[in-house]
Amino acid sequence: DVDRMLQMGVTRVELGVQTIYNFIYHRINRGHRVEDVVEANQILRDSGVKVAMHFMPGLLSDPEMDLRIFQRVFQEEQFQPDMLKIYPCLVTRGSQLYHMWKDGDYQPYTTEEAVDLIVKIKKILPKWVRTMRIQRDIPAQLIEAGVKKSNLGELVYRKLEDEGVQCQCIRCREVGHQASKGIHPEPDRIKIMKEEYRAVGGKEIFLSAEDPKNQVLMGFLRLRMPSVSAHRPEIDNYTSLVRELHVYGPMIPLGEREDEVGQHRGYGEELLKEAEKIARDEYGMKKMIICSGIGVREYYRKFGYRKQGPYMSKPIN
List, for residues 52-62, the tens digit of each pLDDT value. Answer: 999 999 999 99
Cβ 137 vs Cβ 150: under 8 Å: yes
In this prediction, residues 261-272 reach a mean pLDDT of 76
- Shared domain for 232 and 167, answered yes or no, is no
| Beta strands 83-86; 191-199: pairing state | unpaired
> Is the pLDDT confidence value at 264 over 90?
no
- Shared domain for 12 and 131, answered yes or no, is yes
Which pLDDT score is estimated for 96?
Answer: 86
* Domain range for 149: 2-173
Which pLDDT score is estimated for 149?
Answer: 87
Of the two residues 257 and 277, the one the predictor is more confident about is 277
pLDDT band for 137, please (50, 70, 90 cuts).
Answer: confident
- Shared domain for 157 and 10, answered yes or no, is yes
Which pLDDT score is estimated for 250?
Answer: 57
Spatial separation of the C-alpha atoms in residues 225 and 46, rounded to whole Å: 8
Spatial separation of the C-alpha atoms in residues 254 and 251, rounded to whole Å: 9
Cβ 300 vs Cβ 281: under 8 Å: no
> Is the pLDDT confidence value at 146 over 60?
yes
- Shared domain for 94 and 190, answered yes or no, is no
Which pLDDT score is estimated for 263?
Answer: 45
pLDDT band for 139, please (50, 70, 90 cuts).
Answer: confident
Last residue of a domain, which of 151, 173, 195?
A: 173
Give the CA distances from residue 45 to residues 33, 131, 185, 225, 240, in Å, rounded to whole numbers and listed in that order: 19, 19, 32, 10, 11
Q: Which of 54-58, 95-99, 117-121, 283-287 has the lowest mean pLDDT?
A: 95-99
pLDDT > 90: percent of the chain: 88
The one-letter code for the residue type at 68 is: R
Tell me phi and psi for residue 159, to 5 degrees: -65, -40
Averaged pLDDT score across all residues of the chain: 94
Q: Which of 3-7, 115-119, 135-139, 285-289 has the lowest mean pLDDT?
A: 135-139
Cβ 111 vs Cβ 143: under 8 Å: no
In this prediction, residues 258-269 reach a mean pLDDT of 63
Last residue of a domain, which of 173, 197, 229?
A: 173
- Shared domain for 127 and 181, answered yes or no, is no
- Shared domain for 12 and 152, answered yes or no, is yes
198 sits in which H/E element = strand 191-199
Which pTM does this prediction carry? Answer: 0.94
CATH code at 276?
3.40.630.30
- Shared domain for 55 and 204, answered yes or no, is no
Give the CA distances from residue 155 to residues 111, 131, 175, in Å, rounded to whole numbers and listed in that order: 9, 15, 21
> Is the pLDDT confidence value at 262 over 50?
no
* DSSP category for residue 191: E
Which pLDDT score is estimated for 94?
Answer: 87
Q: Is the dihedral of CA 47, 72, 216, 261 positive or negative?
A: positive
- Shared domain for 103 and 157, answered yes or no, is yes
pLDDT band for 255, please (50, 70, 90 cuts).
Answer: very low
* DSSP category for residue 245: E
- Shared domain for 122 and 239, answered yes or no, is no
Report how many domains make up the chain. 2
Alpha helices in 8-78 (DSSP H): 22-27, 34-46, 63-73
Spatial separation of the C-alpha atoms in residues 16 and 171, rounded to whole Å: 20
- Shared domain for 160 and 207, answered yes or no, is no
- Shared domain for 161 and 220, answered yes or no, is no
Last residue of a domain, which of 116, 140, 173?
A: 173
CATH code at 28?
3.30.750.200
- Shared domain for 98 and 19, answered yes or no, is yes
Which pLDDT score is estimated for 254?
Answer: 42
